[in-house]
Structure 1
């Protein structure tokens, strides 16, 4: 594709190396595979409705996340669209119509994505959502509610499908927070990370 910032459909990049917007925070090793939408993550995926950079909600993404092409984070609240008023039209922001109007701006809060989260291609995440560590979001899902750690959700709106592991195993993973360990420790135990041996991994990592 002409002017595509990605070399090939199989190539992604580490997001934090390509972020200039101070309202976007991304952890180490989190990557974006954006070939089919051609543009950088912050240019295509993060949709701010306001240019007031001091007042908008933030997008915070943890470490070791995998984000598919065209995933979209809707940011900056409703920008004056109030569905509890008679009209949703933003008169306050419309020249020639804003006299006597009220500002419907409402912040929704920061959008938080945990660590080791897999977000499929063309997922839409609405403002103020909190996605827990280890969650998986199915392709083209529309996420309108918080997602619990190590849950799989999919659909429009996204609905709970199942937990990835047992509650005991999830508790172990949330306790050790392997993504916060020194990268040399992570490298040493990648062979176990690439398995389902959670208890074995927990017993190794818990005291490191």
Structure 2
């Protein structure tokens, strides 16, 4: 029996057969034009499915210049969210009050800097983490609970705190290089499920055999 169902809006079914509706596959819950979501990436929250985009990135509007790009197999825990550039206030003058947003004709501050926010594949964003605008989080990284990420995160790093700092690397560099070469997140689903025990075991020799 397959472990994963790419077409499921709610990917988790509990042992008693009940579908866990607080967790959604983002690709099926979001149609926002400034978001790009990979397969099997999920988010847990208590709102409705229709509210998912607004809970995940409350200041990313359809008219925003930046994008939020989330890779495949990303795991986003309850309470975590993204702060996009449109949440910024002007800071070069004598006031930070955003006068211009209250009139449609002057809405926004187009001269404020922005960058796309990018989350790689197989990233775990833990409970109540905040990801700031323009950050890139590398493949396989872990963002600890309550972290505020304001700088780029290397692949397979564990970061935490406010502002988030490197706690440790998950593996030695040679193992990270191998994981990036293997890129299991690009495999077809049948290959992934056939080798699931290897991915879960941490057996480096078995992983090398798949490279």
TM-score between both structures, scaled by the size of structure 2 = 0.81
Structure 1 residue 9 displacement after superposition: 6.9
Aligned pairs, how many?
A: 191
Distance verdict in 2 for CA 1:28–1:136, change over 3 Å: same
SS of the aligned residue for 2:118 comes to: strand
For 1:60, the equivalent position in structure 2 comes to: 69
Q: CA RMSD in A?
A: 2.4
Conserved? CA contact 2:90–2:109, under 8 Å: no
Conserved? CA contact 1:78–1:105, under 8 Å: no
For 1:179, the equivalent position in structure 2 comes to: 185
* CA–CA distance in structure 2, aligned partners of residues 105 and 72 of structure 1: 24
For 1:114, the equivalent position in structure 2 comes to: 120
SS of the aligned residue for 2:85 comes to: coil
Q: Is 1:161 matched up with 2:175?
A: no
Conserved? CA contact 1:121–1:139, under 8 Å: yes
* CA–CA distance in structure 2, aligned partners of residues 144 and 151 of structure 1: 15
Structure 1 residue 47 displacement after superposition: 1.7
Unaligned runs of 5+ in 2: 1-9, 13-17
Q: Is 1:43 matched up with 2:54?
A: yes
Q: Is 1:146 matched up with 2:157?
A: no
Conserved? CA contact 2:71–2:122, under 8 Å: yes
For 2:207, the equivalent position in structure 1 comes to: 201
Q: Is 1:86 matched up with 2:121?
A: no
Structure 1 residue 183 displacement after superposition: 1.1
1:2-57 per-position Cα deviation (integer Å, ceiling 9, x unaligned)? xxx998879522111111111111111111122xx3344312111226x4x24421
Structure 1 residue 190 displacement after superposition: 0.1
Conserved? CA contact 1:77–1:105, under 8 Å: no
* CA–CA distance in structure 2, aligned partners of residues 10 and 203 of structure 1: 38
For 1:123, the equivalent position in structure 2 comes to: 129
Distance verdict in 2 for CA 1:18–1:111, change over 3 Å: same
TM-score between both structures, scaled by the size of structure 1 = 0.82
* CA–CA distance in structure 2, aligned partners of residues 56 and 104 of structure 1: 9
* CA–CA distance in structure 2, aligned partners of residues 104 and 87 of structure 1: 17
Unaligned runs of 5+ in 1: none
